[in-house]
Amino acid sequence: PAAVAAGTCRSTSLWTSCRSVQFKTRLAPSAFLPLLVRILGIDPKPEACLLLLSCRYMGHSWAAGLQASWDGKNQESSSEAVNAYLAVAQLGRATGNAALEGWGRLLLSNEVTAARKYTQVYTGNDLYALIAGSTTVNGISKAKVATILFAAKASAYNWFDPDILTRHAIQWMPFTTAGSSQLLPVAWLTEAWPMVAAGTKMPADRYWTTADATGGAQLGWRVLLAMAQAMLPGQQAAAWGALAALPIDASDGYALCGTIGRLTRTAAKWWIATRP
C-alpha cells in the first residue's frame, strides 16, 4: 500500500501533507489511499468523476492541479503523472474496484499519448518544427523536449534550473518498470541522451551547495542520467560504470533534487542491471 500511495501522490509536498493527515487522523491504508485518489481529482464512482486536474484537450494532467500561475496551469513532469495514474489503476485492481482501475488506465493512456506528442521531441516527432517565427519554438526543437506544457504555450525550460539534464530528467523520473516502458520510447532517448550527457553542467564529483552556480540541482540528477543511459541499446555496461563512478553519501543513497525525494544506490543498480 505504501508503494501505491507514493506513486499516487505526485509531489513531495502533497505526499508530506497527506502523510500528515494520515498520522493525525490515524487513517488506515484502506481509507488513506482512496483519499489520495480523490486529491488527484478522481472519484471511484464514474458518474461523479470530474477529472478537474486534467486538460481535456491535450490529455495531460496539471502538475499543480487548479493552482493559479502567471502563465496558467501547466504540466512539467509527464513521468510523475504517468506513475501516479499507474498507481491508481493498480490500486483499483488490488481492491477489486473495476471502475477505479478503468479510470486509472484511461488517464494513464491519455498521459502517455500527450507526453509522446507534446513533450518528447525527436526526428519524425517534432510538431514544434512545423511552427515558424518563434525562438521559443526553435529552442524546444533544439532541446528535444518541451519541459513545461501550459494551457496556451510550451517552454523548453523548467522553473527551477536551466541545465539541459534537469529539463529532460524531470520527464524521466521516477524510473519504474511499468511506467517507463510505456512512456519513454527508445527513439527519443537514443537521440536526446547523447546531447543531454554532453551538454549538462551538473557536477559529477560533489554535491551541490548554495555556493555553487549550478542553479540548485544536485548530484542526484547524474544518477538519473545513468539510469536513462541503461535504456539505450548496448549501453548497460557503460551506465553501470557511470553510476559506480559517482560518490555516495553517508546513508548509502543519492540526494535527489533536494525536496523531491531520495533514490537509493540499490534501486539505481537494480534498474540498470535489469534493463533488457
pLDDT tens profile 197-236: 999 887 665 554 444 444 334 667 888 899 999 999 999 9
Residue 68 has pLDDT above 80, yes or no: no
Which tops the pLDDT comparison, 71 or 36? 71
pLDDT of residue 188: 96
Percent residues over pLDDT 70 in the chain: 63
Least confident stretch, 20-29, 175-184, 236-245: 20-29
pLDDT tens profile 32-49: 566 666 656 565 554 444
How far, in whole angstroms, is CA 250 from its chain's centroid? 26
pLDDT band for 130, please (50, 70, 90 cuts).
confident
Residue 23 has pLDDT above 50, yes or no: no
CA–CA separation, 227 and 64 (whole Å):
26
C-alpha cell at 220: 542526484
Residue 21 has pLDDT above 60, yes or no: no
Residue 58 has pLDDT above 50, yes or no: yes
Transcribe the chain into DSSP letters: -HHHHHHH--SHHHHHHHHHHHHHHT--HHHHHHHHHHHTT--SSGGG---TTB-TTT-PBPTTTT---TT-SEE--HHHHHHHHHHHHHHHHHTT-HHHHHHHHHHHHHHHHHIIIIIB-BTTB-GGGGS-S-HHHHHHHHHTB--EEESS-EESS-SS---HHHHHHTTTPSP-HHHHHHH--HHHHHHHHHHHHHH----SSS---TTSSSTT--THHHHHHHHHHTTSTT-HHHHHHHHHTS---TTSEEEETTTTEEEEHHHHHHHHHT--
End-to-end CA distance of the chain: 28
Residue 256 has pLDDT above 60, yes or no: no
pLDDT tens profile 136-176: 557 899 999 999 888 888 888 887 778 899 899 989 988 88
User: Phi then psi for 239, rounded to 5 degrees?
Assistant: -65, -40
pLDDT of residue 144: 94
Q: CB–CB of 38/50 below 8 Å? A: no
Residue 52 has pLDDT above 60, yes or no: no
pLDDT band for 251, please (50, 70, 90 cuts).
very low
Per-range mean pLDDT, top range of 62-76, 81-95, 239-253: 81-95
